[in-house]
Chain A
Amino acid sequence: MPRLPDSLDAVDDDARGLDLLADDLAIDAYLDDALDDDARRAFARRLDDEPALRDELALARRVRDTLRTLPAARCPDGVRDAALAHARRSTLRAVATPAGATSDAPAASAAPTVLRTPPSRVGAPTLLALAALFALAVGALVLLRADGLLRTDAAAPTLAAQPAQVESPAVDPDAPDAQEIAQATADVKRALAYLGQIQTRSAAAVSDTVMRERVARPLIQRVRDAIDTDRPTRDAPPA
């Protein structure tokens, strides 16, 4: 196996016994094309007269040429990708960090050594909030479709209790029955389960700020608009 030095300083001692001769330096300089014209001509004359020097130069040239044919080390793509993923996660975490809190990620020395299959870092509170909003929207739409069931404070968390609060379903033949309500409830649960799967599979962190501004707020507004649009007909006195 490759020799490991007893100490890192000791490695330099290994080469101290090696005397570099002027010829060794001249050979390297000749191959590196680092000799001026006069020195190069003088060295060429010596090559004509000294077979040993000629052999040494030939070996040096062969070593150099062979070294240049050896493949250079290439960093695996997985290492690059893991580093970039860390930077992206760090950026998204910084966006989601409340003002006043430090956004710097922990020092790399504290990072795990192997990160080439980085774990998912999805913010659980964020997706749970998204799931709740989704349930809210689905529940509201279900209730909006069911005119007789529409309530001013339509909300998904009370959906399960809705059948007990249904008022005179018999007056509207289009109102959903208990089976349809149960089906709608099951749909909401499936949607929540699906969002849970997304949370576990997604590798991208979601910024709370982005979610609030671009998803939650428009969704809530749409639900409110739908309720407001429906309210005049619901609140209108019977003819």
Chain B
Amino acid sequence: MDLGTYERHVDDHKDRVFALALTLLGQRQDAEDVTQETLIKLWDQGRALAPAHVGPWLLRVARNASYDLLRRRQVRQRVHGDEDGDPIADRTVDDRAGDPHDDAERACFRRRLQQAIAHLPASIRTVVVLREIQGMAYDDIAQAVDRPLNTVKVYLHRGRKLLRTALDEEPRHAQAS
């Protein structure tokens, strides 16, 4: 793999690698570090890969690096009780509630949806974001999360169901209180 080929691979896959890391980690800075580490590893260790294998390889490396970081973060939390930033500011998706073109009701719905996504179980959230927001193919998602294809589809069904449940229940709770 020469420099030109490497640059093309980087441009083709960087957004998906970053999206996966951001979804798993929930923090931009950590996701950027993992993405950079992953892309560098492609040059250092993956230059012999066939072009078709580069994408899945990158996603697998990014996933493992993210999991390593999550483990270290959990240890740090247990030892030091650290908090990991503002969950709203660091969430996977941007909050555009202030968009003047959105009416208040749509903006409110979008904000609630983002909150619901943030509270999904991690494995389900990953599949939902990669599929519904990033638009990744099922096969790529299965490679990224290291799960069988059917499991990915089940996660997506469950994620959609959980989101509907959260968005359906919240107004009733608000009215009751």
Residues of A within 8 A of B (CB): 1-6, 8, 11-12, 14-15, 18, 20, 24-25, 28, 56, 59-60, 62-64, 66-76, 78-80, 82-84, 86-88, 90-91, 104-109, 111, 113-116
Instruction: Kindly provide the distance from the CB of B46 to the nearest chain A CB, expressed in whole angstroms.
Output: 10
* Complex interface: chain B residues within 8 A of A8 (CB): 67, 70-71, 122
Q: Tell whether, in the assembled complex, residue A73 and residue B15 are in contact, meaning their CB atoms are under 8 Å apart.
A: yes
- Asked if residues B160 and A60 are in contact (CB atoms below 8 Å), the reply is yes
Known: A91-B3, A105-B44, A113-B37. A15 touches B162 (CB 8 A): yes
Against A, the Cβ 8 Å flags (1 = close, 0 = not) of B108-135 are 0110011000110111100010001111
Instruction: State how many angstroms separate the Cβ of A96 from the closest Cβ of chain B.
Output: 16
Choose one: A64, A72, A87; the contact of B6 (CB below 8 Å): A87
How far is B143's CA from A180's CA once the two chains are assembled, in angstroms?
A: 73
Residues of A within 8 Å of B177, CB to CB, are none
* Cβ-defined contact, B162 with A1, below 8 A: no
Please indicate the chain A residues that have their CB under 8 angstroms from the CB of B77 in the complex.
4
Contacts of B141 in A (CB 8 A): none
Specify which chain B residues have a CB less than 8 angstroms from the CB of A84 in the assembled complex.
Answer: 3, 6-7, 10
Give CA–CA (A2, B115) in the complex, Å: 9
Q: Does B139 interact with chain A (Cβ within 8 Å)? A: no
Additional pairs, 11, CB under 8 Å, beyond known A70-B113, A87-B6: A11-B122, A18-B162, A25-B157, A60-B160, A63-B113, A67-B132, A70-B110, A80-B39, A83-B14, A111-B44, A114-B36
**Which chain B positions have C-beta within 8 A of A64?**
132, 160
Q: Which residues of B contact A1 (CB under 8 A)?
A: 83-87
Selected from B86, B113, B157, B161, the residue in CB contact (under 8 A) with A67 is: B113
Show 22 residue pairs from A and B whose CB-CB distance is below 8 angstroms, ordered by the A residue: A4-B84, A5-B121, A6-B74, A8-B70, A14-B121, A15-B162, A18-B162, A24-B160, A56-B164, A59-B167, A63-B113, A72-B19, A72-B133, A79-B39, A80-B39, A83-B10, A84-B10, A87-B40, A88-B3, A90-B44, A91-B3, A113-B33
Q: For the complex, is B26 an interface residue (Cβ under 8 Å from A)?
A: yes
A residues near B109, Cβ cutoff 8 Å? 62, 66
- Partner of A20 from the list B26, B154, B163 (CB cut-off 8 Å) is B154
B residues at A contact (CB < 8 Å): 3, 6-7, 10-11, 14-15, 17-19, 22-23, 26, 31-33, 35-45, 67, 70-71, 73-74, 77, 83-87, 91-94, 96, 106, 109-110, 113-114, 118-119, 121-124, 128, 132-135, 154-158, 160-164, 167-168
Closest 3 CB pairs of A and B: A14-B121, A108-B41, A83-B39
Please give the distance in Å from A69's CB to the nearest CB on chain B. Answer: 8
Instruction: Give chain A residues whose Cβ lies under 8 Å from the Cβ of B106.
Output: 66
Contact A76 B84 (CB under 8 A): no
Inter-subunit contact B168/A59 (CB<8 Å): yes
Nearest neighbor of A63 in chain B, beta-carbon distance = B163
Question: A72 is contacted by which of B44, B71, B135 (Cβ under 8 Å)?
Answer: B135
Task: Check if B164 sits within 8 Å of A79, measured CB to CB.
Answer: no
Cα A2 to Cα B19 with chains together (Å) = 16
Tell me which residues across on chain A come within 8 A of B113, comparing CB atoms: 63, 66-67, 70
Contact residues in A for B167 (Cβ distance below 8 Å): 59, 63
Say whether, besides A62-B109, A63-B113, A75 and B14 are in contact (CB < 8 Å).
yes
A185–B80 Cα distance when bound, in Å, is 61
Residues of chain B within 8 A (CB-CB) of A14 are: 121, 124
The answer to whether residues A60 and B164 also contact, given A79-B18, A106-B44, A108-B40 and a CB cut-off of 8 A, is yes
Cβ of A73: which chain B residues have Cβ within 8 Å of it? Answer: 15, 18-19, 22-23, 31, 92, 133-134
Whole-angstrom distance from the CB of B132 to the nearest CB of chain A? 4
In the bound assembly, the distance between CA atoms of A118 and B114 in angstroms comes to 35
A176 to B113, CA, bound (A): 83
The smallest beta-carbon distance between A50 and chain B, in angstroms, is 16
